Structure 1
Amino acid sequence: MIGVLPAEIGHLENLEEFILYNNSFSGVIPISIANCSKLKIFAVYNNQLTSSISGGNSSMNELSLITSMTHCRDLRYFDISSNPIYGFLPNSIGNFSASLNFLGVGDCEINGIIPNEVGNLSSLTVLSLSNNNLSGFIPSSIKGLVNLQVLDLHHNRLNGTIPLSLCDLPSLYLFYLGYNRLTGNIPECLGAINSLRYLELYNNLLESGIPLSLWNLKDLLELILGSNRLNGSLPGEVGNLGALTKLDLSTNRFSGSIPSTIQNLKSLETLYLLENSFEGSIPDTIGEMYSLEVLDISNNNLSGAIPNSVAKLSYLKYFNVSFNKLFGEIPSRGPFANFSASYFASNAALCGSSRFNVPPCIANSSRRTKKKKVIWWIFILAGITFVIGVIALTILLIKCKREKRPVVVEMDPYTTSRISYYDLLRATEDFSPGNLLGTGSFGSVYKGVLNDGKIVAVKVFKLQVQGGFQSFDVECEVLRNLRHRNLTKVITSCSNEDDFKALVLEYMSNGSLEKWLHSENYFLDMLQRFNTMVDVSQALEYLHYGFSTPIVHCDIKPSNVLLDENMTAHLCDFGLTRFLNEEASFTHTNTLATFGYIAPEYGSEGIVSRAGDVYSFGILLMETFTKRKPSEEMFTENGSLKEWVYDHLSRNQLGQVLDSNLWSGNEQRINQEMQSVSSIMELALKCCAGSPKERMNIKDVRVALEKIRLAHV
């Protein structure tokens, strides 16, 4: 259904339920709905509705709809999720009906903080504020929600520590705080909430170890703590969580061995231990975890052999042990028959089948030698028949090679369906120009819709261009092994030898930073630009320091920064990426990146280093806040963007170089914004120091950026 909600809705005084799920209604939600005094359920989930506000910038106004709905004293269910509501939560939220059970304002582009008054809603069982832009601390007043079962605050910008008052929620069943900026420790008292079934703290800045009390939650179904700064070891008590179906401790700083008691997790389907410092051998008891479907222990310091018992896991679909120190034979039976060679990469002493890109094992090589002798005698006896057969087969192959072959797709471990070349043709309407999203040196990117309705981006490589093959191989290597919130996600790769190569990527609905900076009718406010730069710095920090082998992107620029539906930035295009040896701080290349963004030593000597990425990031910072490209004619003829910014900054004339559309509000606010951007430009110039040794590392840059943003907010 489509249309606009009429104000006359308020005349339905006896209305008790108003439900509009998954429609296309647009316009303002009429405040007159509050006249329906007997209303018990108000649900307009997933439409295109906005809240009624009183003029000005919608992101700076409170949701007057919420204030008006507090007059509905019988209201039990209020859900406006997945609508472009904007604004911020008013303090009047605490005046909602005492009988309110469900409050859903997720995915609504809400800004500001969570009001303390939310703690007044003592009857609330579900509070969902996820996928917004909420900042500030989690209010300790939430402890007043004594009946709360679901608390979903994931994917916001909340900071501070996890308040101990959350432990006073005795009925908490689902607790989602992932994708925020929370710091400090995981509270010990969370282990006392026996009702807890889902605990998700993914992608924060949490430190220290996992409290021992959490291992006492025997009914916990999912424990997701990946992408933090947690450390310590994985204790034997992990085996207490017998009901667990998913355990994610990836991208942390855990060390020690994987305890054999992990075998007690008979219901576990997904186990992520990648990107830590686990050592020792893979426990043979993992083969007794019969429900296991996904096991990723890549990028650790594990040694020893792959247990043969793993081959007994009949449900195992994905098994990644790359970038470890494993040796011995890779099993070939059971689920290993379907595994890719990339899942075993960078283990110097593994051996086995040639399809795993490893040398043959010595014992097997001996057996194969004997078999070859037998086959040789058979060939001698077959003689003329064999020669004739080879000639006939050669002619047949030549004919087949001239025909167009279907492309086999090497799937992402989490994808359950297979996609053929012809599926990609249908998805992109034969790579129609109307679906073209952009072009680059090594290929073009098209928008596509798969058979299941999923929207994707298909990057087709120009193999006839010098470097096209290498670009595809490098991107595959990078995207298969790296996973981070601020990197583009690869869904699958598509390769047909020398004819066709493509990557199927996650689609970014808001396009590139290039579009938002330099196209008409697009605009990013000050905070959005801050957030985008922090996101990119986090991606670079992960590439430079969060992976076992340092990675240099080599092509940081606005067109390689994509924005998803939540305006979260994702770094993309890894075609020029270079891996550094552990001992080396730089390498060399003959491939030139984009003019204007490359560091001096890159352009003149082909030196690739992490400091080069930092230089490019500094230029990106300047462009983001000045809206000036480094390749503009005014810079190519005389000077550069860097010199231009430095000159105006030193003369206290920064206002002349910054994007004039940034300034809003009163004089006091403008002065505050000027101070923030002045700090940004000073940081950018430090990133662009002439000597690589004088540049800041990206860790310090990211910290400095977050401090500036915090002061701005």
Structure 2
Amino acid sequence: MFDADSSGIVGNIPLEVGNMSNILLFNVYGNNINGPIPGSNRFSSTIPSSLWSLTDILEIDLSSNSFIGNLPLEIGNLRAVVVLDVSRNHISGNIPATMSSIKTLQNLSLAHNKLMGSIPTSFGEMVSLMFLDFSQNMLTGVIPRSLESLLYLQNINFSYNRLQGEIPDGGIFKKFTAQSFLHNEALCGNPRLNVPPCDNQVKKSSTGKKLLLKCIIPIVVSTILIVAGIIILKVKKRKKIENTLERGLSTLGAPRRISYYELVQATNGFNESNLLGKGGFGSVYQGKLPDGDMIAVKVIDLHSDVKSKSFDTECNAMKNLRHRNLVKIISGCSNLDFKALVMEFMTNGSVDKWLYSHNYCLNFLQRLNIMIDVASALEYLHHGSSIPVVQCDLKPTNVLLDENMVAHVSDFGIAKLMDEGQSKTHTETLATIGYLAPEYGSSGIVSIKGDVYSYGIMLMEIFTGKKPTDDMFVAELSLITWIGGSLPNSIIKVLDSNLVQQNGEQIDDLLTYMSSIFGLAMNCCKDSPEARMNMVDVTASLMKIKTSVLGANRV
């Protein structure tokens, strides 16, 4: 992938870029490139035909540069492209009809160029189109009625052209407004689009009425233009945000494209029977794709700006992360009214379910393995990724188990990306009560040491079967002080009764291991962030305990 969004590039792109034959994304949005793009063909200031031979590329963003020339017929070779944006350049000539062969294209913007001629009728065959922007060109002719058949089309903009004739009013065109057709030469159609009826016959009227119209029309038109201008600015701002999200989602891993309609079908219309659970930022549904793959769909609640922002946060947090103990994001779906993350489905549900349901029970080694998996995930987030990531909301409900009982940390809706060299920042978003570190709860200070504290709480919880918010913890008694008071000789009093029953005669050996584990948990939950262990040492310590357990061959 080549992503140089708004990087201040001037002049030519290096010759080596032309050798990247397997590139999936090419983004030079918002630069000042006015020389040739390298490749087998070199046309100064034009887009070379070699670019259109990249048949597997998913996204091309050449917007806001100074490219000239025509769009070639070979553009139809882009069999996999989803986003094509060459807006805000100096492209001229006609729109090639061969573009209609790109059945995968969802977002097409040719706005702010010098394109002429008519809109090809064959564009009605581009069945995946969702966003279409031809505004600010010199297009002539009529708007093809064939576009009425594009079922997924959500937004069009044909404003500021020289289009004529009747605006289609069937299919998806019924939901479009006047803002999509402003300032054209002679469009006509439905009065709601602020254009005259096509069969309009102007009747003669009295001099008085004409005078009245001459006074009223300029006022009305001016008002409409002002309102339309405000609406267009808001729509463009929101569209820019969504395009940013789409570019972020395209780097979340394997570039699998899943549409909103596929998600509706996979979840039976987001049926209650498919609901896996509800969290602070939305609902999670189980789904099944046509190829049989099971998925989990996290639908973001858009009624709150904070919750909506969590979608962007989770995308930014997850797009560059790869680890066996993190839940994999398969794809994303984002439009004006719907945002969702598509994740791999975890067959065995959450750790919370296994701890507190009568139908499930974890043995000692399973609990130890789960906490090693979680420690490995946090070690990677804190020390293994290019930018440290603070998960901010670690708890049993956010740790999911696959079919092999391997643990995966999920839910990065309030995660924080630490700038390079930065150890902490501030936030107004609080994690779950009981698991958050003292400095986080009192001052909103976020650091990787806050995750260490939450991990220590969860480590105590998984071996005691007691939540930190249990009714027994009142006044001065907390999960930490309860565990601390049991060390080193009363551990059996705080241990999960299921573990005591499972181990029977071997309980003494188990208590020895638990003394080390609870001691480790206490070191994670020190009041001072600086005094807490780091996750590298935590993982190493737990692995050492596991080696002793397996060596003794008693569990």
TM-score (norm 2): 0.61
- Is the counterpart of residue 457 in structure 1 residue 296 in structure 2? yes
For the residues of structure 2 that align with 1:523 and 1:380, how far apart are their CA atoms? 67
Asked if 2 retains the 8 angstrom alpha-carbon contact of 1:306 and 1:329, the reply is no
For the residues of structure 2 that align with 1:460 and 1:708, how far apart are their CA atoms? 40
| Amino acid in structure 2 at the alignment position of 1:474 | T
1:705 is aligned to: 542
> How do residues 608-627 of structure 1 correspond to structure 2 at under 5 angstroms?
608-627=446-465
| Amino acid in structure 1 at the alignment position of 2:316 | E
Task: Indicate the percent of aligned positions where both proteins have the same amino acid.
Answer: 45
| CA deviation map 1:285-325 (0-9, x unaligned) | 575565x37699xxxxxxxx9984494762434689xxxxx
Query: Aligned-pair distance for 1:462?
Result: 1.2
> How do residues 603-642 of structure 1 correspond to structure 2 at under 5 angstroms?
603-642=441-480
1:428 is aligned to: 267
Query: Aligned-pair distance for 1:539?
Result: 1.0
| CA deviation map 1:604-626 (0-9, x unaligned) | 10111100000000001000111
> How do residues 521-560 of structure 1 correspond to structure 2 at under 5 angstroms?
521-560=359-398
Structure 2 alignment gaps of length 5 or more: 3-12, 27-34, 40-49, 92-111, 116-134, 139-158, 164-181, 196-227, 236-241, 551-555
1:673 is aligned to: 510
Describe the SS at the equivalent of 2:339: strand
Describe the SS at the equivalent of 1:425: helix
1:574 is aligned to: 412
Choose which of 21, 39, 54 in structure 2 pairs with 1:314: 54
For the residues of structure 2 that align with 1:381 and 1:426, how far apart are their CA atoms? 41
1:686 is aligned to: 523
After the TM superposition, which segments of 4 or more aligned residues of structure 1 sit over 4 Å from their partners?
282-290, 293-296, 328-337, 360-363, 368-375, 378-398, 407-418
For the residues of structure 2 that align with 1:685 and 1:353, how far apart are their CA atoms? 57
Describe the SS at the equivalent of 1:573: coil
Change (3 A) 1:671 1:470: same
Choose which of 294, 304, 307 in structure 2 pairs with 1:468: 307
Choose which of 349, 362, 375 in structure 2 pairs with 1:511: 349
| Amino acid in structure 2 at the alignment position of 1:655 | I
| Amino acid in structure 1 at the alignment position of 2:410 | C
Asked if 1 retains the 8 angstrom alpha-carbon contact of 2:401 and 2:408, the reply is yes
Query: Aligned-pair distance for 1:547?
Result: 1.7
For the residues of structure 2 that align with 1:583 and 1:521, how far apart are their CA atoms? 46
For the residues of structure 2 that align with 1:444 and 1:700, how far apart are their CA atoms? 35
| CA deviation map 1:223-257 (0-9, x unaligned) | xxxxxxxxxxxxxxxxxxxxxxxxxxxxxxxxxxx
Asked if 2 retains the 8 angstrom alpha-carbon contact of 1:412 and 1:491, the reply is no
Query: Aligned-pair distance for 1:660?
Result: 2.1
For the residues of structure 1 that align with 2:509 and 2:373, how far apart are their CA atoms? 22
Aligned residues: 391
Asked if 2 retains the 8 angstrom alpha-carbon contact of 1:428 and 1:447, the reply is yes
For the residues of structure 2 that align with 1:387 and 1:555, how far apart are their CA atoms? 58
Describe the SS at the equivalent of 1:481: coil
Structure 1 alignment gaps of length 5 or more: 1-269, 272-281, 297-304, 321-327, 342-351, 355-359, 402-406
Asked if 1 retains the 8 angstrom alpha-carbon contact of 2:55 and 2:80, the reply is no
2:282 is aligned to: 443
For the residues of structure 1 that align with 2:255 and 2:342, how far apart are their CA atoms? 14
- Is the counterpart of residue 562 in structure 1 residue 302 in structure 2? no
For the residues of structure 1 that align with 2:504 and 2:162, how far apart are their CA atoms? 96
| CA deviation map 1:584-632 (0-9, x unaligned) | 2111111111000000011110111100000000001000111100011
- Is the counterpart of residue 599 in structure 1 residue 427 in structure 2? no
Change (3 A) 1:318 1:338: closer
| Amino acid in structure 2 at the alignment position of 1:683 | L
Change (3 A) 1:285 1:559: same
Describe the SS at the equivalent of 1:509: coil
For the residues of structure 2 that align with 1:518 and 1:672, how far apart are their CA atoms? 25
Change (3 A) 1:507 1:329: farther
Query: Aligned-pair distance for 1:417?
Result: 6.5
For the residues of structure 2 that align with 1:475 and 1:697, how far apart are their CA atoms? 24
- Is the counterpart of residue 695 in structure 1 residue 532 in structure 2? yes
Change (3 A) 1:391 1:538: farther
Query: Aligned-pair distance for 1:429?
Result: 1.6
Choose which of 492, 499, 517 in structure 2 pairs with 1:655: 492
| Amino acid in structure 2 at the alignment position of 1:476 | C
Change (3 A) 1:542 1:307: farther
Change (3 A) 1:683 1:662: same
Describe the SS at the equivalent of 2:319: helix
TM-score (norm 1): 0.48
Describe the SS at the equivalent of 1:459: strand
> C-alpha root-mean-square deviation of aligned residues, in Å?
4.6
Describe the SS at the equivalent of 2:461: helix
Asked if 2 retains the 8 angstrom alpha-carbon contact of 1:287 and 1:312, the reply is no
| CA deviation map 1:153-191 (0-9, x unaligned) | xxxxxxxxxxxxxxxxxxxxxxxxxxxxxxxxxxxxxxx
Q: Which has the higher contact order (CA 8 A, sep 6+)?
A: 2
| CA deviation map 1:439-489 (0-9, x unaligned) | 101111111111222111111111113511111111122222222111111
